[in-house]
Amino acid sequence: MVKLKARIIDLEVGRRMVLLHEKDAQEIGTLAHDWLKITSGKSKLVTFVDTTKSYLKQGEIGILRDVYDKFRVREGSMVSVSPAKPPESIKFIQKKMNGKPLTKEECYTITQDLVNHRLSDIQIAAFILAEEFQGLTMDEIEYLTKAMVDTGVVIDFDRPCFDKHSIGGVPGNKVTLLIVPIVAAAGLLIPKTSSRAITGASGTADTMEILADVEFDAAELKEIALKASGAIVWGGKLGIAPADDLLIRVEHPLNIDPVGQMLASILSKKLSVGADHVVIDIPVGAGAKVTTVGAARKLAKSFVELSERFNMQLQCGITYGGQPVGHMVGPALEAREALIALQGKGPASLVEKSTELAGMLLELGFIAQPSQGKDFAKKILASGKALKKLREIIEVQGGNPGIQSRDIDVGNHTAEIKAPCDGFVTNVSNNAITAIARAAGAPREKGAGIALRWKRGYKVKKGDVLYRIYAERASKLSDAYNMALEMKPVTVEGMLLHKLPESP
């Protein structure tokens, strides 16, 4: 055991880690990414170690903010340091890497070590890659789902609870802002927990945040949802299925999303909020996560099989995902379009998809007869009850219930992309629209995004505006505009897409 002087480093890196001088690490017998036991008085903590040659003096230990929040020591106090044993779950991850199925206890141990920050990003990545390449059995997916629920907060609403989830990948998918108030207006409880965008232009939480607060703890969510029969909040502050956020953080740079883990992640979050009636939206098309109907059917079958193991009533809706939903992409623009749709003036693609999925929930809740849910949902929408209900939800979440679409500010720097020739719009690229909207600043800069004037099948004339880019900063607009010229996200029949060789 070695004693080192504590140096507090006011820096958060997203995982518990201390910093040692390279020579101290050699003396202790530890390497970067190893585990270290640190002790000060009665306080003990096992954490990761990284090393430096110059940032610390020899004899110092750098206590980062992530560790300091759990291991309070005074600047300059002495800390005892010694090597610690690696967590047991490492051998279970290796087992999965070798293609062998995991037991219930092994899945639970991996999940528990994950949420207790006992696994490094490298080890988490190894587990994710093992899931991707070796696959998970349905038993393993069930075990992981249960473990993810048990290691987080669980909310009990003491009544039947309804929910929906989209597997994502399609820009402009603000259907939740219509579905939740339609279902809540019908008298069903729908406390919707949503995510922020990771690779997209706006997550549901990003869009709802334009209208009201979305960050609440579990007790606050329960109070809000029971008061209004619905809520639309960010799931990140609730503490439900915390393993999911830690896995997503590593999945993102790897650009993979193992199917088994996706199933476990989605259903664990639904189970954590007591949802026993769930609709899963699986968009299909070029640029969506699922590109064929066959693959969507296979995924839907897995969702249904897993839900049956938890006595959940679940249906999957396979929806068209070959181009954006509605015409607006970006937080503020999507919030505007959602309010317009609730007033009965929204684009057909948004209204049709929203009422189809809401109708499925109404049928699950026996509010509507089989095959009549969509019509029932449309009647609620047309009556103004859904708009009234959303305003009620906005109010209980601390927003202005009287907000109008025109009150929502969007980026004041704009550029228009026009049709280069007469013809029909033959393609709108999901990936390109998302990339350009992000280049413009979305979702971080709420007023940034894209307003599509025309979509697939529309006839346009040379010089017609195809879409408008919005940004909050001129530099971002320039970046997005240049990207748009290069990517050509909207294709008009007869357009010259490339010229080779390029002009000198």
Q: Name the phi and psi angles at 9, rounded to 5.
A: -110, 115
Residues 274, 159: Cα–Cα separation, whole Å: 9
Per-residue pLDDT at 168: 85
Query: Is 49:77 a contact under the CB 8 Å cutoff?
Result: no
Vertex 141 angle, CA 305 and 126, to 5°: 150
How big is the chain, counted in residues? 504
What number is the average pLDDT over the span 286-309? 96
Residue 36 identity:
L
What number is the average pLDDT over the span 245-269? 93
Q: Which residue has the tokens 């503490």?
A: 239
| pLDDT tens column, 149-198 | 999 999 999 999 999 999 988 999 999 999 999 999 999 999 999 999 98
User: Nearest to residue 497, comparing CAs of 439, 440, 420?
Assistant: 420
Q: Name the phi and psi angles at 254, rounded to 5.
A: -80, -20
pLDDT of 497 above 80: no
Query: Is 185:378 a contact under the CB 8 Å cutoff?
Result: no
End-to-end Cα, the chain, rounded Å: 68
pLDDT of 308 above 80: yes
| pLDDT tens column, 422-470 | 999 999 999 999 999 999 999 999 999 999 999 999 999 999 999 999 9
- Indicate the SS3 state at residue 191: strand
What number is the average pLDDT over the span 291-307? 97
| pLDDT tens column, 78-94 | 999 999 999 999 999 99
Residues 102, 144: Cα–Cα separation, whole Å: 10
Reading the block at residue 82, the tokens are 């010694």
**257 annotated active-site:** yes
Q: How confident is the model at residue 504 (pLDDT cuts 50, 70, 90)?
A: low
Quick one: what percent of the chain has pLDDT higher than 90?
A: 90
What number is the average pLDDT over the span 373-399? 98
Residue 474 identity:
A
Distances from the Cα of 83 to the Cαs of 20, 27, 30, in angstroms?
A: 12, 11, 6
Element of type H or E holding 164: strand 162-166
Per-residue pLDDT at 147: 98
Residue 261 identity:
Q
Distances from the Cα of 289 to the Cαs of 166, 245, 310, 316, 433, in angstroms?
A: 11, 19, 26, 15, 15
DSSP string, 240-281: SSHHHHHHHHHHHHHT---HHHHHHHHHHHHHHTT--EEEEE
CB atoms within 10 A of CB 219: 11
CB atoms within 10 A of CB 116: 13
Per-residue pLDDT at 494: 80
Distances from the Cα of 346 to the Cαs of 174, 337, 353, in angstroms?
A: 12, 7, 12
Peptide linkage before 443 cis (omega within 30 of 0): yes
Query: Is 41:6 a contact under the CB 8 Å cutoff?
Result: no
- Catalytic entry in 113, 163, 206, 257: 257
| pLDDT tens column, 54-82 | 999 999 999 999 898 889 899 999 999 99
Q: Can you give the pTM of this predicted structure?
A: 0.93
pLDDT of 383 above 70: yes
Q: At what angle do helices 89-97 and 104-115 cross, to 10 degrees?
A: 120
DSSP string, 86-123: PPTHHHHHHHHHTTPPPPHHHHHHHHHHHHTT-S-HHH
Query: Is 73:79 a contact under the CB 8 Å cutoff?
Result: yes
User: Nearest to residue 61, comparing CAs of 95, 107, 90, 27?
Assistant: 27
Cβ burial 196-211 (10 Å sphere, 16+ → b, else e)? bbeebbbbbbbbbbbb
Quick one: what percent of the chain has pLDDT higher than 70?
A: 100
Report the mean per-residue pLDDT for the chain: 95
Per-residue pLDDT at 171: 96
All structural domains of the chain, each given as residue ranges with its CATH number in brackets, are 2-83 (2.40.40.20), 162-217+273-405 (3.40.1030.10), 412-492 (3.90.1170.30)
Residues 86, 446: Cα–Cα separation, whole Å: 43
| Integer-rounded Cα radius of gyration of the chain | 25
Per-residue pLDDT at 503: 62
Residue 394 identity:
I
- Looking only at the bridges linking them, the beta strands covering 162-166 and 78-83 are unpaired
| pLDDT tens column, 100-121 | 999 999 999 999 999 998 998 9
